[in-house]
Amino acid sequence: MNLQVPGPVSELVVARLSLPDARVRTGERSGAAADAVILRVPPLPHRTDLPGVLDEGEHARMAQLRRGDDRDRYLLAHTALRLVLGHRLGVRADVLRFARAPCPGCGGPHGRPVLAGASGPEFSLAHGGGLVAVALGDLPVGVDVEPNPSAAVVRRVADHLHPREREMVLSAPEGVRAEVFARLWSRKEAYLKGTGIGLGRGTDTTDATADPPGWAIADLAIAGHAAALASERRRGNR
């Protein structure tokens, strides 16, 4: 899989992240099981080249955001997702409709987002700091991007990590502790988003220091940020 980004946002791509399919074919790996692109978020209020593809619900949610930079991130993130999905499916981005898969915990209609009434790729969306991440996959996929936090945030949140994660963060040299924290948190959130459970599962019960059973996670370090892409493995993969 090669995630193609349409023209209106292609110039904003700063990095790509892939997870190979672990199936072995005649001793060689097959193509990517999941791909993600990382986009920078420029000031958007005066941009006129982003197409108007969001639906009424998305516009309403964007309007509820108080900060202008949060609205900018939301606009770019959801526009980019629609453009990428529309390009992949060969349809107009503004005709796409979204729904929620059943929650794997309770069965309620609040699991991971999916395309409504259409077969298509699995997808995930994230934004943090000055970046947006869009991911597509053949199987459930999750992506996350996190800015490196302050030392105060690391100290405050460390107690909510899994014990192995907490040990890894607190034992890291002070100069790289924020980067270690951001990497582990992005891995955790990408995986939990991919499962559809999200952070409500409890951040201290999920160990993201290694690949969770049945899943693979890839890391990407970007200046001032960490990003992670998680994909469910195909049945029978190691």
Instruction: Dump pLDDT digits (tens) for 30-89.
Output: 557 899 999 999 876 555 578 889 999 999 999 999 998 888 899 999 999 999 999 999
CA 87 to chain CA mean position, Å? 19
Neighbouring residues of 24: CB distance < 8 A, sequence distance ≥ 6: none
Is it the case that residue 25 has pLDDT exceeding 50? no
| β 13-20/32-40 pair status | antiparallel
Q: Is the pTM of this model over 0.85?
A: yes
Neighbouring C-beta atoms of residue 187, cutoff 10 Å:
29
Round to whole Å and give the CA distance between 11 and 119: 29
Task: Choose among 8, 229, 223: nearest CA to 130.
Answer: 223
CB 56 within 8 A of CB 97: no
